[in-house]
Amino acid sequence: MQSIPVQLHTPDAILTETYGLLSLQEGCLVLEYESKDAFIGAYSSGVEELQIFPDDVSSLTFKKGVFKAKLKIHARSMKFFEKVPGAKHGTITLRIKRKHKADAAELVMFLQHRLEELKSAEASEPAPLLDTGEVGPSGDWT
């Protein structure tokens, strides 16, 4: 699956712009992003990478507009997106240009379907009698 160019919605969009790529790699949703000065691009934060597993996501919302689409990724914890510019209440908003809307819609449909499968499988499993304290991803997107 190819990478989808995105723009992160940030409150200081007049001063800085944050652009990135969203892709599905080896069962993990990967968001690579970089913030730059909006005027001359002199300041750059450097490329950051965030790996998103299904256990980290509570829901996905995708809205198509006339010119752009918006993808909102809602995390299970506010801490997960704490370093991502524009994150608010554990949610990031990614803007997608018109020419990439179809690819983004296909990716989101796949991710939503997979997230529902994992949640239903999790609900059907019996709860463990004793918590072992192990924390880690229990599934992947593929």
Q: Over the chain, what is the mean pLDDT?
A: 85
CB 88 within 8 A of CB 74: no
- Give the global pTM: 0.81
Under the banding of pLDDT at 50, 70 and 90, the label for residue 126 is: low
Residue 107 CB coordination number (10 Å): 23
Q: Please state the rounded mean pLDDT for residues 115-119.
A: 85
CB within 8 Å of 75: residues ≥ 6 apart: 56, 57, 58, 81, 90, 91
CB 100 within 8 A of CB 4: yes
pLDDT tens per residue, range 12-66: 767 888 999 999 998 889 999 998 887 776 777 889 999 999 889 999 999 998 8
* Better-scored residue on pLDDT, 13 or 70: 70
